[in-house]
Amino acid sequence: MSSHLQNRRIVITRPAVDSQRLADRLRSLGAEPVIAPAIDIEFTDPVELDEALAKKDEFDWIVFTSRNGVEAVARRTKTLAGPKIAVIGPATAEAARAHGWEPSLMPPSYVAESVLDAIGDVGGAKILLPRANIARDVLPEGLRARGATVVVIPAYRTHTPTEPLPDLYGVDAITFTSSSTVRGFLARGSVPPGAVVVCIGPVTAATAEELGLEVAAVADEFTEDGLVNALEALFTPSP
C-alpha cells in the first residue's frame, strides 16, 4: 500500500531513547525520520521514591502518566504487588506489562483529565504518582479534590539538550508529543519555513499555540499511531 508520507522528512522531537518506534513506523511508510530530541530524560532515583515503594502496600493506586514514570519505578523495585495500577495510555501500559505489572485502569482518552474521569471514587484512597519534575498538576489536584491522599514524587527530570538542533532546512513536518518537547524545541530554534506542526494531542497543541506556533493537525487518538494517522491525513491530497 502506498503512503502519502513517501519521501516526507518528518522531525521527531521526543527524547532519543523514546524515538525509535516512531522512527521505524515512519520509515515503514517511506518517510525519512529526522530525530532531533527537544528534551532529555534524567532519572533521579530520589530517596522519597524508595521510601514510598518500601511501603507500597499502604497505597491503593499507583498512577503512571508516562513510560518514563514506569521506568523510574522499575529502576527501584521489581514488584508492585498490592496497589492497583493506572496508566495514561497504551504506550505506558506496554511499558508496565514489560515489567510484569498489569494495569487495572487505562482511560479512553489518554490525558490526565480522562484518568480523573475513569478512576471513580477515590475518597480516602492513598495514591502514589511518580512523574516528571515539570508535569502538570491537574491530576494530583483533581484527585485531592475528590478526597484522595496523593504522594507526588518527581522521579525523573526533563531538560533541554545543550547541543544545537540539527539543520532542519527542507523538512516537511515537526511532530511534538508533549508540551515539554514544544518548549525545548523553541528554546533552541524555530520551525523552519515550509514545515507544518503536528501534535499528539490537545494539551500539546494548546502549548504550541500559546507559544506562537500554527498547529496544522492534532491526532484524534493521543498515541504515536494517532500521530502517524494525522500526518497521513495532512499530506493526503484533496480530491
Residue 18: pLDDT band (50, 70, 90) is: confident
Q: What is the pLDDT of residue 1?
A: 45
Q: What residue ranges define each of the domains in the chain, with the CATH number in brackets?
A: 9-39+160-234 (3.40.50.10090), 42-157 (3.40.50.10090)
229: cell is 494517522
Q: Which residues contact 148 (CB under 8 A, 6 or more apart)?
A: 122, 123, 124, 125, 126, 127
pLDDT in tens, 179-204: 999 999 999 999 999 999 999 999 99
Mean pLDDT to the nearest integer, 72-84: 94
pLDDT score of 2 more than 90: no
pLDDT digits (tens, 9 = 90+) for 44-66: 999 999 999 999 999 999 999 99
The pLDDT value recorded for residue 131 is: 94
> Average pLDDT, stretch 83-105?
95
